[in-house]
């Protein structure tokens, strides 16, 4: 069940749109901000507020790569896999992250600290290879820099 605050925030967002269905992504992001991910239960609670079926809303939720449908780690590591990053050493950085964290893409460390996800481009080709942790951009990566980044997100 949506909390009172979640419901209030979703309804306020709906008011900003001519067609309430247009608020679906923002409504999902509101719940995710509160819970860390969007559960099946949350979809069932949000859908009627938007005049959508649960299946329609799930289709939206699973289309967007930054709507998380299962619990994720406290820190999100988004590794850019664009052509520029590939050319500049993406594979070495990714292999190191996987080894160091003991996880692959779409997985979360056992301690719930990190989730590792690919992203098609983070707009930092001039500083490739690059990644983001919790929205903070890091570029010109090498193995020691990656280790420093991980250490700083404890």
Instruction: Give the largest Cα separation in the chain, rounded.
Output: 50
Q: Indicate which CATH number applies to the domain containing 39.
A: 1.10.10
Domains held by the chain: number: 2
Dump pLDDT digits (tens) for 97-143: 999 999 999 999 999 999 999 998 999 999 999 999 998 999 999 99
pLDDT at 148: 97
- What predicted TM-score, i.e. pTM, was given to this entire model? 0.78
What is the four-CA torsion angle of 115, 116, 118, 122, rounded to 10 degrees? 80
Burial letters 64-89, b for 16+ CB under 10 A, else e: eeebbbeebbebbbbbbbbebbeebe
Picking from 63, 95, 113, the residue at the C-terminal end of a domain is 63
Structural domain for 133, as ranges: 75-152
Q: Both 56 and 81 in a single domain?
A: no
pLDDT > 70 fraction of the chain, expressed in percent and rounded? 100
């Amino acid at each position: 069940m949506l909390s009172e605050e979640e419901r209030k925030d979703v309804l306020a967002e709906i008011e900003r749109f001519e067609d309430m269905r247009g608020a679906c992504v923002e409504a999902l992001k509101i719940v995710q901000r509160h819970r860390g991910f969007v559960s099946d239960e949350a979809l069932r609670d949000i859908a009627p507020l938007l005049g959508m079926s649960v299946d329609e809303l799930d289709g939206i939720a699973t289309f967007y790569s930054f709507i998380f449908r299962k619990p994720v780690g406290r820190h999100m590591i988004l590794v850019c896999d664009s052509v520029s990053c590939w050319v500049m050493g993406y594979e070495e950085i990714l292999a190191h992250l996987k080894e160091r964290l003991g996880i692959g893409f779409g997985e979360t460390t056992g301690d719930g600290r990190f989730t590792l996800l690919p992203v098609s481009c983070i707009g930092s080709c001039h500083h490739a290879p690059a990644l983001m942790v919790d929205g903070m951009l890091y570029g010109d990566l090498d193995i020691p820099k990656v280790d420093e980044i991980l250490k700083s997100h404890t």
